[in-house]
């Protein structure tokens, strides 16, 4: 879901997601085992309560990659927030922009981290 479908498509393209156009109102995005549908559809309340989590092997490396892309200069409402330490691991958050969901990148953990 996005308020501005074309801007959202451009944003995910910049993040190196592969886009498969389903039709003029729906695309499938895939990257490194993550996939989601983006549609030309907007409900403010739904969008404000949506978050996309992307699990990466190295959150610091991905954070550096985001900074190198300078998405905050291309998309005025993008905000890249510093990596935060949570009790379950390190998380990098960035706000796509006011028309799209929040994206969180988290470090990949071994399976035994959650199952003792």
Q: What is the pLDDT of residues 63-97, one digit of tens each?
A: 888 889 888 888 877 777 777 776 666 666 665 54
Percent of the chain with pLDDT over 90: 11
3-state secondary structure of 3: coil
Q: What is the pLDDT of residue 63?
A: 82
CB contact set of 89 (below 8 Å; sequence gap of 6+): 106, 107, 109, 113
pLDDT higher than threshold 90 for residue 26: yes
Q: Residue written as tokens 């005025």?
A: 76
Q: Does residue 87 or residue 4 have the better pLDDT?
A: 4
The rounded distance, in Å, linking the Cα atoms of 95 and 24 is 25
Q: Averaged over 1-10, what is the pLDDT?
A: 82
């Amino acid at each position: 879901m996005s308020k501005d479908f074309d801007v959202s498509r451009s944003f995910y393209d910049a993040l190196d997601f592969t886009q498969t156009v389903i039709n003029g109102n729906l695309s499938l995005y895939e990257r490194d085992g993550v996939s989601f549908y983006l549609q030309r559809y907007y409900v403010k309340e739904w969008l404000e309560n949506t978050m996309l989590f992307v699990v990466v092997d190295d959150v610091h490396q991905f954070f550096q990659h985001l900074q190198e892309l300078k998405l905050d200069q291309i998309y005025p409402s993008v905000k890249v927030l510093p990596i935060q330490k949570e009790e379950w691991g390190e998380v990098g958050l960035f706000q796509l922009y006011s028309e799209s969901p929040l994206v969180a990148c988290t470090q990949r953990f071994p399976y035994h981290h959650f199952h003792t």
